[in-house]
Structure 1
Amino acid sequence: MGEIIIIGVYFSPNRPLREFEAYLERLGRAVAGVTPSPIIVMGDLNAKCTAWGSPRTDLRGEALLDWLVGIGLEVVNRGAADTCVRAQGGSIVDITLASPTVSACIANWRVLEDTETLSDHLYIRMRVSRARSQQPIPARRTGRLPRWSLASLDREAAREAAMVEARWGRQTPEVDGVDNMALGLRASLTRTCDASMRRVGPLKRKKAAYWWCPEVAALWVTSNAARRQFSRCRRRRHTQEELDTHYVALSEAKKALNLAIAKAKDSAYTAFLASLDENPWGRPYKLVRKKLRRAAPMDTMEMGTLQNILEGLFPAAPVFNPPAMVVPREELPIDPETVPL
């Protein structure tokens, strides 16, 4: 993702500790192979430790914590929200690790407890800035502020533009006042960025999946509501009967949503197969054909005119004659004295 290398990890909870330690050794070699590039390691290692919010530390958590100290990665997890929720309870087994340069740029790490994932594991959201000094990007944009592509930054041009602005773009505070100074500084920074980077347009809205439909959207809302009810019940005082009731409602909502998604995918696939029998040229071909018929109907068009139109639309490929790679034998000069008997 840009300059950041992301490594996804998973280790089964049914495998012994010695295999887990061997897995950490292989992971350490993979991390060392891309150092000093900025790295983010995240996934489900099924290890529990108080360092990332678990109420207790198990043997895997101790092994992972010792490995982190040796490899130089930092834990990004914040809070004590469960990342994996089942009927028997919850646990924090999804871990986000990062190198120190990236860890300082990560903000607003949180678990989305009220969002349905169709899985026992919950979504984790965080915001990563491109530089240590860069503030996290706000969640909402008004669209009035300009945006630039940091990937196209020309550092030398930015340095020269800043020197020009510092020499001729500065305003005296006695004359302009604080407000005008702030506006002048903003304009100066804008000109500097324009001189060293290209602007980018507004963020494009993500397209919906090809199988998305109103029925799936309604069931998605219902499933999210059931997930919120189950999460709130776990956070407050509750009886086992109340928890089981909310869990059954959540399971039924997830089952209905999965079934609706499967049906929507089948319907979309059937519609796609049906569309293969339609005109492959599309609407522009129909318009051209309609205009040709208006200009000269096919039954009254002369054969020569029709042939010229077809040759113009579908030109014949030129005949390719490969060049001769050797001189033919019959063209070689024959010396009787050199001809073998």
Structure 2
Amino acid sequence: MLVRNELTVFLLPNFSNADVVTAKLECDTGNIWLVAAYMPHDDEVGPPPALLRRTLEEASRNGADVIIGSDANSRHSIWGSSDTNTRGESLFDFIISEYLCICNRGNSPTFVTAGREEVLDLTLASHRIAPLISNWRVIDDHSFSDHRYIGFSIDGEGPPRKSFRNPRNTDWEGYRRKLRQTLPRAPGVDTLATADVVDGWVEAFSSACITALESSCPLKTPKGRGKPQWWTLELSEIRASCRRLFNKAGRSGLPDDWVLYKTGLSIYKSELRRAKRISWKSFCEKVEGFHESSRFRRILAKNPVSLGYLKDVDGKWALSSEETLQMLLNAHFPSNTSSTEVPL
């Protein structure tokens, strides 16, 4: 499942483990639980996992819509597999019982290896949000995995991009020039006789400063996330080479070509891990020389994060941002009580 737009989601740790990861998207139109689920082929109980069942039950109690992207390891002709097996029948019964909708379209294989192509990946959605999902497709781009990327669109407006000013890019010479042009002549001391007059001059000075700043530091709108800091030109070349080997192996189907692709993929993943380690080590070395508070500020400024969900003293996880904030309030201000009275 690919998410093209940048959205803020919160991990739900109490509904996540090694095989199931659940995140919550909070938006004005309602809450959406995004679930990535791996269903092991050697699970004796059969699909779906118990945690996925519990996750859907909790989402239903909270009135949240659900979108599930899964490596189901199950075959059924309903979602385009070449045949139907016992796991597929079990999973299909579960889908019907939970009133989930199957978003898969066509029979393009989602799992591709040297000797096998099959539809093993499923996209499911709750019945309320399913009509908004369109353009489901298997993407031909190389995913550097046995499984292909799956893309789809959700109709509706995405979150607006917030414009911002970056003080580091301010044209300070232009700021001073504009400020001199905008500021009125300084008043004499005798003219500042009343508070109203002083307030008027303060307003004029503030307005001039704002005008100068807007002129020398224009608003910027983010264009999307670029390459991570650890990405290098060498990684780009290795990735392109690996993609070419994959395309060649897919066209020819020769075992030797698949071996070359697997070797290239192993090299690419090894270099990827190496680049991340080097970048992280370099980042840590740069902040070691700063004071603790300055170091903390630099880390947050470099990698800003949203406040996640917390666990209270009883071990219960928050299920919304409001609950998280309430936990923080109770922990740091235990005697706090809501009151409509204003102290005098």
The reply on whether 1:129 has 2:155 as its aligned counterpart is yes
In the alignment, is the contact (CA less than 8 A) between 2:248 and 2:257 conserved in 1? Answer: yes
In the alignment, is the contact (CA less than 8 A) between 2:39 and 2:49 conserved in 1? Answer: no
Percent identity between matched residues is 24
1:95 corresponding residue in structure 2: 122
Measured in 2, the distance between the counterparts of 1:261 and 1:20 equals 33
Measured in 2, the distance between the counterparts of 1:214 and 1:69 equals 48
Measured in 2, the distance between the counterparts of 1:231 and 1:30 equals 42
The reply on whether 1:43 has 2:70 as its aligned counterpart is yes
In the alignment, is the contact (CA less than 8 A) between 1:76 and 1:109 conserved in 2? Answer: yes
In the alignment, is the contact (CA less than 8 A) between 1:114 and 1:228 conserved in 2? Answer: no
How much has 1:71 moved relative to structure 2? 1.3
Question: Secondary structure of 2:254's partner?
Answer: helix
The reply on whether 1:14 has 2:14 as its aligned counterpart is no
Letter in 1 for 2:153: R
Measured in 2, the distance between the counterparts of 1:71 and 1:277 equals 52
How much has 1:125 moved relative to structure 2? 1.3
The reply on whether 1:229 has 2:229 as its aligned counterpart is no
Measured in 2, the distance between the counterparts of 1:88 and 1:34 equals 44
How much has 1:126 moved relative to structure 2? 1.1
Measured in 2, the distance between the counterparts of 1:27 and 1:208 equals 34
The reply on whether 1:32 has 2:75 as its aligned counterpart is no
Letter in 1 for 2:117: G
The residue correspondences of 1:326-341 to structure 2 (distance < 5 A) are: none
In the alignment, is the contact (CA less than 8 A) between 1:113 and 1:228 conserved in 2? Answer: no
2:103 corresponding residue in structure 1: 76
The residue correspondences of 1:190-229 to structure 2 (distance < 5 A) are: 202=221, 204-229=223-248
Measured in 1, the distance between the counterparts of 2:46 and 2:79 equals 22
1:320 corresponding residue in structure 2: none
Letter in 1 for 2:150: I
Structure 1 residues 148 and 247, CA, compared in 2 at 3 Å: closer, same or farther?
same
Structure 1 runs not aligned, ≥5 long: 138-146, 150-199, 234-241, 283-341
How much has 1:148 moved relative to structure 2? 5.5
> Please, which of 101, 106, 120 is the counterpart of residue 146 of structure 2?
120
2:282 corresponding residue in structure 1: 271
Structure 1 residues 8 and 273, CA, compared in 2 at 3 Å: closer, same or farther?
closer
Q: Deviations over 1:215-248 (max 9, x none)?
A: 0011111112222223334xxxxxxxx4312211
Larger radius of gyration: 1
The residue correspondences of 1:151-300 to structure 2 (distance < 5 A) are: 202=221, 204-233=223-252, 242-276=253-287
Q: Deviations over 1:103-133 (max 9, x none)?
A: 211122112233233x222221111123xxx
How much has 1:22 moved relative to structure 2? 6.9
Measured in 1, the distance between the counterparts of 2:237 and 2:130 equals 38
Structure 1 residues 92 and 202, CA, compared in 2 at 3 Å: closer, same or farther?
farther
Measured in 1, the distance between the counterparts of 2:117 and 2:147 equals 10
Letter in 2 for 1:71: E
Measured in 2, the distance between the counterparts of 1:41 and 1:98 equals 6
1:190 corresponding residue in structure 2: none
Question: Secondary structure of 2:128's partner?
Answer: helix
1:109 corresponding residue in structure 2: 136
Aligned pairs, number: 207
How much has 1:32 moved relative to structure 2? 3.2
What is the root-mean-square deviation in Å for CA atoms of aligned residues?
Answer: 3.0
2:12 corresponding residue in structure 1: none
Question: Secondary structure of 1:257's partner?
Answer: helix
Measured in 1, the distance between the counterparts of 2:142 and 2:231 equals 17
Letter in 2 for 1:87: A
Question: Secondary structure of 1:101's partner?
Answer: coil
Q: Deviations over 1:278-304 (max 9, x none)?
A: 67789xxxxxxxxxxxxxxxxxxxxxx
Letter in 2 for 1:126: F
The reply on whether 1:52 has 2:79 as its aligned counterpart is yes
Letter in 2 for 1:121: H
Letter in 1 for 2:266: K
Measured in 2, the distance between the counterparts of 1:21 and 1:126 equals 23
Structure 2 runs not aligned, ≥5 long: 1-24, 162-218, 296-344
Structure 1 residues 22 and 9, CA, compared in 2 at 3 Å: closer, same or farther?
closer
